[in-house]
Each structure stands twice: as structure tokens, then as C-alpha cells.
Amino acid sequence: MGSSNSLLRNENHGLKSPWFVVGWPGIGGVASHVIQQLDFLFQSHHAEVVVPDPSFEIEDILVRDGISFPGPLPRLPFRTVITGGEHDLVLFLPERQPQLGGMALCRRVMSAALSFGVERVVTFAAATAAIYPEATPKISFCTPCALTSADLLQRGISPMKHGSVRGLNGLMLLAAQEAGIPSQCLIGEISNWGLQLPSPKTSKVLVEIFGTLLGRSFDLEYMNKQIDVIENYLIEQKNLTLAQFAADHGPYETVDEFSDEELLEVSDRDNLESLFTAAMSDKTKTAVLKAELDRLGVFSKFEDRFLDLFRECS
């Protein structure tokens, strides 16, 4: 923001009851991908590029013919949308999140958004889940506003039971609350089989849900090709992983539960502890952990601990 704030006009740019729609890059690129799709669907208009402030640092250098010079700081552009409905939109498409100073940056972004006359803030996040790649992601919400919560519940959207939203997609709710603006975060599941890849299926469901909030339906058929390519790849990787698991440990199948966890062999308990430890730092390991819990027939005994691995979203 800094000096660029002087370029922002103190008017709402002719927008009708605008919503501020934010997608900081996070897990699976879901939040930013949703904003990109809305930008494409509505053919938005450039409003203002906010000059980054000291929240960001230069991370690399550029070289031309042997001469080096500082690399660019991320762009934080605002774009406006005339929807033709009850609410126009102000889209925010930041290129990356800062390492430090996130809350202060969110306050400055919120201050800039207020110059557009925004009446609501909507952010997006992704939450890892133990679902197969072919499953339809579930959507939940969180909000600091009781009235917003009641409205979303009426629309059939479930609340996030517990957990945390890491990063600026969550902090934007606090900045909005401080400014007296209602806010909400829509959270979509992504499969733990594909955490290192984009999750366009989750993005698509989030765009559909957001459309219902606007009273709009979108033709998202164009997203299906990318969804199919990634889904087929993840299914192939899942099958290869389970086949290797079966080769190492025997057939992959759920057995009747043991009545007492102590019936587990010491080696099995030690292996589970190792898998839990590995999964805490690398969520891609949760697939093997789930397979081992099912094979031993003890998933229900470890279910809460297993689900704790997925309490955070971004």
C-alpha cells in the first residue's frame, strides 16, 4: 500500500453493494485459483495495483547479459466486476503471502478495499482430507459474524467444526471484523493424495457455492478437462501406492476391529508411531498411515488423532 494509497479514490467506483473477494495463495493454490476463475468468468477490470510494502522482501535477483539487479516484489492488484446482480465484486489477486507482518498487511488491504465501498468480505481456503481423488470435495465455512453464520446455515453450507485457517485468508476475517464489515471464509476439501498438485475440482465446487451466494450459476464445463487429467493421475498414484502397500504388508482391506489396542504387536505400534510422526510433517504420508490403520483394524481407535492431522487449512 504505502504511497499507492493516494491513488485510490474515496468513492465506490460506481459499484453496487460490492463484496470484497480475496484469495491469497495457499494449499493446492485453491484460494487464488477461485479468484482467477471469477476474474475469467466476469471479465473484470483493472482497478489498482497496490505497491507492496516492507511486509515483502526481495527473494531473488534477475540477470541480463551478466548484469544482476533486484527481482520484483509481488503484485497485489484489485479488479472490479459489474455482475448485473445485487452485488458487484472487488477481486483481490495477490501473487504471494508475506513471511512476516501478515496481520498488518491484511489491515492495509482492508483499508484499501473500504475505498471501494465494500459491504462484505469473502475469502477461500483449502483443507486436506482423507478422501479419494474421485470423491466430491465437501465445503464448509467459518465466520466471526453470527448473522452470516445463520445465513450460510440456511443455504445448506456446513460450519467447520474445529481446526484453524492458517495464513492471510483467515487473517482477512479479523481485519474485516475490526473494520465492522461482515466476513466469511469458504473452505474446500482437497485429497491428501494430491497435496503437491493443483486442486481444480475443489476450486470448481467453491466457485459453484460462491455463485449460489450471488444468485448466479456458472458454466464451468471448461474446467473438467484439467480436473480429469489431475484426477486420473492421482487415482493411478493411489493404486500404485496401495499395490506397493499390499506387497509389503499383505492385502489392503479393513479387518474386524481388535477389542483391545494392546493386542497390537509392539512392532505394529512402533510402525504406527513412525507413520504418525512422518505424516505430521508430510501430509502425503497420511495415505499410507490410513492404509495401515485399516489393515490392523484400529482406525476407530486412532480416528481423532488421525483427523487432527487435517485440522489446519490455508
pLDDT at 11: 52
Reading the block at residue 177, the C-alpha cell is 471484523
CB of 44 closer than 8 Å to CB of 91: yes
| Whole-angstrom distance, CA of residue 18 vs CA of residue 15 | 6
| Residues 40 and 107: beta-carbon distance below 8 Å | no
**Domains, the chain, with CATH or none:** 2-221 (3.40.50.10900), 226-313 (no CATH)
pLDDT at site 313: 75
Q: pLDDT tens across 238-267, in order?
A: 888 778 777 776 655 544 444 445 568 888
Cell numbers given for 2: 504505502
DSSP single-letter state for residue 29: G
Burial of 205 (0-12, 13-18, 19+ CB in 10 A): buried
Taking the complete model, does pTM exceed 0.85, yes or no? no
In three-state secondary structure terms, 33 is: helix
In the DSSP assignment, the letter for residue 262 is: G
Residue 160 has pLDDT above 90, yes or no: yes
Q: In the prediction, which pLDDT does 250 show?
A: 61
Q: How far apart are CA 199 and CA 78, in angstroms?
A: 24
Residues 6+ apart with CB under 8 A from 67: none
The helix-helix angle for 168-178 and 102-114 (nearest 10°) equals: 50
Answer whether residue 8 shows pLDDT above 60. Answer: no
